[in-house]
Amino acid sequence: MPVDLQALYPKLVHLMLDTVFVVDQDDQIVFVSDACQALLGYRAEELIGTPITHYMHPDDLPATRASIVRVMSGQAHFDFRNRYIRKDGGVVHILWAAFWSEEVGARIGVARNVTALTEAEEELRFLAHHDPLTRLANRALFNSRLDTALQAAQQHGGTLALLFVDIDDFKEINDTHGHSAGDRVLRLVAQRLERCAGAHATVARVGGDEFAILLTDLPSHSAVFDKVTQILAVMVEPLDADFGGLAMPTCSIGVACYPADGRDADALLSHADGEMYRVKRRRSQAG
């Protein structure tokens, strides 16, 4: 018995996990497959007769309109990405394959939900330059920003300062209270350092219990030491009760200022590191 493909095609379209859209030359939706409800939260009958641009993320409209022009001029695409706003207000990332059909007088697109993939890609890009535990900049990003700041300071006669921050006796926290407690302390230190440093500074985790802060456009030399004083005051604030009685550890801070303590990244990093260890030794001898 021969198969009636003409009768089968509409059913196949509605079985697809990806969503099929047919949109006329005026951007009106004339057909959408059943998968649209999972994609955008709308039933097909809610979408038909409405402009597809109504559902696009406003920040993606210019690029999407340019893509529509290309498709309608005969340039099919198979890898265009944009964002749509779901009925519930959420944002969905979509990968499109689309072409213009002269025969039908409409453009036909297949939309795939790639939100999870996009978020995973964004996380990987973030982790290439950030510490996964504290979400601070990592050493590579810090060094890149330091190089950029040095170039700007050299060209325009500006100033900058490096602060190296080391948590005193951090190993004892891990040994006594466990690494989970140590990780919580590291995250809290990161939050406190960011709060003190301000929006225009770069705070990085550069080692196990070592952090670095890049300060630029300083109003005066004394502003650096005012910042150190602020950090030391914030860092001794007691921990919340949910830390189980764990005491907040002290920290040692080394400072290097451009150009007084060095004119390149290596010299400044070495000076700040050395100053930090001198502070740590003085504290140990005093104790």
Rounded to an integer, what distance in angstroms lies between the CA atom of residue 128 and that of residue 36?
35
Report which of 27, 49, 42, 205 is spatially closest to residue 107, judged by C-alpha positions: 27
Integer angstrom CA distances of residue 134 from 144, 184, 185, 209? 19, 9, 10, 11
Catalytic residue among 59, 209, 226, 266, which? 209
Q: How many CA atoms lie within 13 A of 116 on its CB side?
A: 3
Q: How many CA atoms lie within 13 A of 11 on its CB side?
A: 5
Catalytic residue check, 242:
no
Q: Pseudo-torsion of CA 168, 172, 176, 182, nearest 10°?
A: 50
Integer angstrom CA distances of residue 89 from 11, 32, 57, 264? 30, 20, 11, 49
Catalytic residue numbers read 209
